[in-house]
Amino acid sequence: MSEPDSKALVPAPTVVCANCQTPSADIYCSHCGQRLDTRINSVWHFASEATEVLTHADSRVWNTLRPLLLQPGFLSKEFFAGRRARYLQPFRLYLILSVVFLLLASWLGEESGTEIVKIDESDKVECSNLKSDLPGSQWLRPRLIASCEKLKAEGGNELGQSVVHNLGRAMFVFLPLMALLMKLLYWHPRRYYLEHLLLLLHNHAFVFLWMSIYLLAMHWLGSSGWKALVSLLLLAYFVRYLYRSMKVFYGQGHWLTSLKFSALALIYMVCAGLMLLATTIVSAVAL
């Protein structure tokens, strides 16, 4: 009988996780998932690890962005099919792409000298003449007048920044309300509320990605004659994508999906306009 290999009897060395104090013999902690080798000895070490995460073939970022851009409704179906680990979580994806879009819009706006809101001090705006027929206008009017005076003094830049900042918060109220509308549109067969909300999250993540691509395309084209054609093609793809996402996810026919898509688009634009108006008023009053 051959003697057992002495190397096989040596237990694997264990390392205590610095984050949760759990002993583990693997590269990653079995309890919290943190990598056990946390040493960052140089900028090059840090940069190489970051590059590995971003360019690795199995990276969830790239696994998610491709179907998000090219396969409408696919990520939502994958989520409810239980195939989730290979993709970014829907809410995280939405947040990442919204931040990327806002940073890109800010950068391109500053580079081109474009301002969201601009008030020239020479404009003949009499803040004292502001009136409102909204409910609670007696409480609202003095605050609007004070905000108007502040905007005139600062040129309006602060209002634009405040509106953009508050729109992100408003979307956390807007999306759940739109999911309720989707539940009414798709009442049969019955679906969970989360299914509608998840599709909206994925579609809005696509919208942020599409708007980022649109801004970059318009920036690169400049005054080129291709600008109008590229805009038209991108807009056509945008509309087709949203329609296809509903058709693929809910599995209904062309005409029924077209009818629901048209109704949803109309209601969405009206509600989005009201949300933008309310956000602007709140932002102005809060200045």
Q: Could you tell me the residue ranges of all domains in the chain? A: 59-118+156-286
Q: How far is CA 16 from CA 11, 22, 35, 261, in A?
A: 15, 5, 11, 54
pLDDT surpassing 90 at residue 19? no
Residue 177 φ/ψ, nearest 5 degrees: -70, -40
- Cβ atoms of 227 and 221 closer than 8 Å: yes
Sole residue written with tokens 């800010």? 106
Task: Give the mean pLDDT of 164-178.
Answer: 86
Residues 184-202 have pLDDT tens digits of: 999 888 899 999 999 999 9
Cβ within 8 Å of residue 155, ≥6 positions away: 118, 119, 120, 121
- Give the pLDDT score at 199: 96
Question: In 3-state terms, what secondary structure has residue 36?
Answer: coil
Instruction: Please give the Cα distance from 30 to 101 (Å, whole number).
Output: 36
The 10s digit of each residue's pLDDT in 68-115 is 999 999 999 999 999 998 899 999 999 999 989 988 887 886 665 555
Cβ neighbours around 65 below 10 Å, total: 19
pLDDT in tens, 131-152: 655 555 566 666 666 666 666 6
* Helix, coil or strand: residue 262: helix
Specify whether the CB–CB gap between 238 and 210 falls below 8 A: yes
pTM of this prediction? 0.73
Q: Across 20-29, 39-48, 58-67, which has the greatest mean pLDDT?
A: 58-67
